[in-house]
Amino acid sequence: MGLVTTKKMFQMAYKNGYAIGAFNVNNMEITQGIIQAIAEEKAPLILQISRGAREYASMSYLKAIIDVAVEENPDIPICMHLDHGDTVEICKRCVDDGFTSVMIDASHHPFEENIKMTRAVVEYAHAHGVVVEAELGQLGGIEEDVVGVDDVSAHLTDPAQAEEFVEKSGCDSLAVAVGTSHGAYKFKSEPKLAFDVIEGIQKRLPGFPLVMHGSSSVLKEFKDLINKYGGKMPDAMGVPEEAITRASKMAICKVNIDTDLRMALTAKIRQVFAEKPGEFDPRKYLGPGRDAIKAMVKHKLTVLRCAGKAAECL
């Protein structure tokens, strides 16, 4: 089968209490590591492409890599999703480029402007059979061109606004601010997610899928490897995995993961360079990095509780 939208994935995730992993991709090795884990665990998959990824690798290369993954895994539902599209024009272009899901992130605009921009994307995307994710509320941290707020607790999504936003915009899913943050240096102390916000939205919009951005956990094993082999990430801290699992049992149907992928790849490359300083064959350090990504993704699938759910999402 070809690329799919997230519609069936989210229906089943909401009904059965799990979340779909949305993993950002930038090159072949990252994509292969993700796909290998997904194929072995039989999980549904969202592959996300950001503006930075398109600028780094070009859309034609990334689309070709994803096309191979889809062709080689016909029993795995795979969605290709635009992450953080910041203009209506970018979202329309990605619809035309073959994305099956796009995100319009107008959360930094006033409420009414956010609705207007989202509605414009929805009308274009739906006419082409593509689903739309929007965002309401603002996260902290930094991810590529996305710069968040300093105090995440002051910019949480308001449940009443979320209900109005969904009704007026027509979006298919909504990224909400519940205390998460972008990047590796998310928090100064362990965060506490606003589960009351999730519950409040869930009561107002029963059955509607919510999305959690900034949800990498900054896993200790990779942070320790990076620091052991010359890195300096002593203060890196992410979202506790038990909190992610709890959210996945509620209305959170999609969880974005990017930083953990980068850390897994970087940690293994640093280790190879330190243990084999004469190594110059990219296959000898990118290969272990790909294996680390595969192992990390398999672990994340247990956290999200979506392993073995591929068949019911087809």
pLDDT at 147: 42
Residue 281 lies in a domain: no
DSSP 8-state secondary structure symbol assigned to residue 74: T
Residue 306 lies in a domain: yes
The whole-angstrom separation of Cα 98 and Cα 2 is 11
Residue 227 lies in a domain: yes
Residue 237 lies in a domain: yes
pLDDT tens over the chain, length 314 residues: 799 999 999 999 999 999 999 999 999 999 999 999 999 999 999 999 998 999 999 999 999 999 999 999 999 999 999 999 999 999 999 999 999 999 999 999 999 999 999 999 999 999 999 999 999 987 654 444 544 444 555 579 999 999 999 999 999 999 999 987 655 545 556 678 899 999 999 999 999 999 999 888 889 999 999 999 999 988 777 889 999 999 999 999 999 999 999 999 999 999 999 999 999 999 999 999 999 999 999 999 999 999 999 999 99
Q: For 149, phi and psi rounded to 5 degrees? A: -90, 165
> In the annotation, is 196 catalytic?
no
Domain count across the chain: 1
How many Cβ atoms sit within 10 Å of the Cβ of residue 178? 27
Residue 307 lies in a domain: yes
CA distances (Å), origin 87, targets 24, 132, 141: 19, 13, 21
Residue 94 lies in a domain: yes
Q: What residues contact residue 214 under an 8 Å CB cut-off, 6+ apart?
A: 139, 140, 141, 143, 148, 180, 181, 182, 183, 186, 239, 256
| Per annotation, catalytic residue among 83, 86, 158, 172 | 83
Strands 45-49 and 78-85: parallel
Question: CA angle, 217 as apex, 215 and 222 as ends, to 5°?
Answer: 140
pLDDT at 179: 85
pLDDT at 145: 53
pLDDT at 189: 61
The predicted model scores a pTM of 0.93
Buried b (16+ CB within 10 A) or exposed e, 295-311: bbbbbbbebbbbbebbe
CATH number at residue 111: 3.20.20.70
The domain in which residue 133 lies consists of 7-259+293-313
pLDDT at 107: 92
Take residue 33 and report the two structure tokens written for it.
């590591």
pLDDT at 52: 92
Residue 264 lies in a domain: no
Residue 136 lies in a domain: yes
